[in-house]
Structure 1
C-alpha cells in the first residue's frame, strides 16, 4: 500500500471518443470545464464501428486536447464484438444485451487481441502521440485479451471494478461511477446509484468517473455529473489515469521508515 500521505485521486474519463461521437464528447468536456479545468482521459477508438478514415479536423482536436494536458488512451480498435458466439445466458447477456454487442475484447484469442492492440498502437504512433493505457470496450477483457495486453508494454488497464497495473503491482479497487442512459427510468435510477456509490467510496484512494457520449443527451444527467464532480474535487486531486498510475507506483517504490513509506 502507498504511504498514509498519499493524496486521494479522481480520474475523469470520456469513453467512445471518435469522429462520430466528437460533438457529444465536446459537450461533456465543456460541462466538466464549467466546474473546473481538470485533466481528462479521453478513451479513443481508432476505427469506431469500422470507420477508419483519416479525418484531419479530428486529429487536430485530439492534438489540442493533448496539448492542454489531457491523456489519450486506447479504447479498443473497432468497439465491436466480432468474437465467436457467446456460450450460455450469462455470456449472451454480457456481450449482446448489456453491452449492445460492443465488447470487442470479450472473446478474442490472444493472437487476435494482439493484432487489434498493434493496430491501435500503430495509429497512435503514426500521429506521434504518447500511449500508456488501454481500456477495453464495455470493460470486457477475456483471457486472450489479458495475455496480449500484459505483453503489450503498456502501463495500465481498467475494468469496471479495478485499476490494473500491467507490471508487478496489485490492482486498486475503484469501481467506476457510470451512468445508464438507455431510458428515463434507467437514467433516474443510475443517478441515485452513482450518488450512493460515490458516498461509499469517499475514503478510497481513487475515484473514477466514467462518462459516455450518450450522457450528454440528458440535461439532468449532465447537471448531476457537474454536482458530483464538484463534490469529489473538494477532497481529491484530479489526474489522468496515466498520472495516477505513476503516482501510485512511485508511492509504492518509496523506502519505508518505521513501517511507513516516505
Structure 2
C-alpha cells in the first residue's frame, strides 16, 4: 500500500461465526477468541433464535452477545431453527443439496408465507432483546424461491449465499444486486473434508485476492480440530496485511454508499 492510499480503499475481509445458539455457544466463543488472538477484528455472529439442538445456557450466550455488540460486532439472523423440515422433491440436485450437502438448509424449500413467518419470528426474538439486525443469512446458505420472495417484504440490507454477497433493497434504496464472493469455509465433519478444505480455501483466497470482498465463515465443529483453527488464524493474519476487516453490515453500508456492486437483481444464485 502506498503512503497516500487510504485503508478505506482496500478490499475487505469479513469473518463470521455461524450457528450461534446456546448449544453451540462454548465452541462459538472459542472461535471468536482464536480470531482475536490474531487481531482485534470485528465479527459477524450468525444467531439462530430457536436452534433445533437443545442444551447450553441461553443466559450465558445472551450475555456474551451483549458484550460482542458493545465491542462493535454484528448480530445476524441465521434462520429460525436451522433445520430443513420441508418435503423433498424427486430431483437429484435437490436431494443432494438437502441431503448429502446439508440437512440444515431450513429455507431451501419453504413456501414464501412460511419463510416470512419464520423470519418475522426471528426478528421478534431479536427485538425482545433490543438487538439490531441488518442481515439475514440462511442456514447452509440455501434459499429457495419462496425464501427469496419472502425477503422482499423485510428491511434487511443484505443476505449471503455461498457464492455471493447480496445487497438487498432496504427501505427506499432501490433494487439491490450481488457481488461474487465465494466464502472460505472448512468441511470439518469428515476426514477428507478436513484435509482438502484448507487447500481449497488457500486457492480461493488467492483467486479473490483483488476482489472487493473475501469472506471467511467459521462453524462450531471447526474448533475441535487444531489444524483447522491454526489455518484460519494464519489466513486471517495474512489477509489483514492487504484487507480491512469489517462486519458484513459495515460492508453492506459501504456498497450502499458507493452503489458499485449492483450487477443484477437479487434472487436465487
TM-score, with normalisation over the residues of structure 2? 0.89
Q: Which of 146, 153, 168 is the equivalent residue of 1:144?
A: 146
RMSD: 1.6
Q: Which range moved further: 37-46 or 5-14? A: 5-14
Moved over 4 A (4+): 50-54
Partner of 2:248: 241
SS in 2 for 1:207: strand
Shift of residue 58, structure 1, vs aligned partner: 1.9
The one-character-per-residue Cα deviations of 1:66-125 (angstroms, maximum 9, x if unpaired) are 1111100000000000111232221111001111x1000000000000000000000000
Q: Which range moved further: 242-251 or 56-65? A: 56-65
Does the 8 A contact of 2:23 with 2:53 survive in 1?
Answer: no
Structure 2 distance, partners of 1:198, 1:109, is 35
Does the 8 A contact of 2:88 with 2:94 survive in 1?
Answer: no
Q: Which range moved further: 51-60 or 228-237? A: 51-60
The one-character-per-residue Cα deviations of 1:116-148 (angstroms, maximum 9, x if unpaired) are 000000000000000100000000000000011
Partner of 2:267: none
Question: How does 1:105-254 map onto structure 2 within 5 Å?
Answer: 105-167=107-169, 168-252=175-259
Q: Which range moved further: 135-144 or 164-173? A: 164-173
Does the 8 A contact of 1:86 with 1:95 survive in 2?
Answer: no
Does the 8 A contact of 2:11 with 2:212 survive in 1?
Answer: yes
Q: Which range moved further: 69-78 or 161-170? A: 161-170
SS in 2 for 1:93: helix
Structure 2 distance, partners of 1:14, 1:124, is 17
Partner of 1:81: 84
Q: Which of 13, 22, 26 is the equivalent residue of 1:23?
A: 26
Shift of residue 61, structure 1, vs aligned partner: 1.2
Q: Residues 85 and 206 of structure 1: is their aligned pair in 2 closer, same or farther, counting only changes over 3 Å?
A: same
Question: Is 1:63 aligned to 2:73, yes or no?
Answer: no
Q: Which of 36, 40, 44 is the equivalent residue of 1:33?
A: 36
Structure 1 distance, partners of 2:56, 2:219, is 22
Structure 2 distance, partners of 1:90, 1:146, is 19
SS in 2 for 1:121: helix
Partner of 1:10: 13
Q: How many residues align?
A: 248
Structure 1 distance, partners of 2:155, 2:64, is 27
TM-score, with normalisation over the residues of structure 1? 0.91
Partner of 2:105: 103
Q: Which runs of 5+ in 2 are unaligned?
A: 1-7, 170-174, 261-269
Structure 1 distance, partners of 2:55, 2:118, is 13
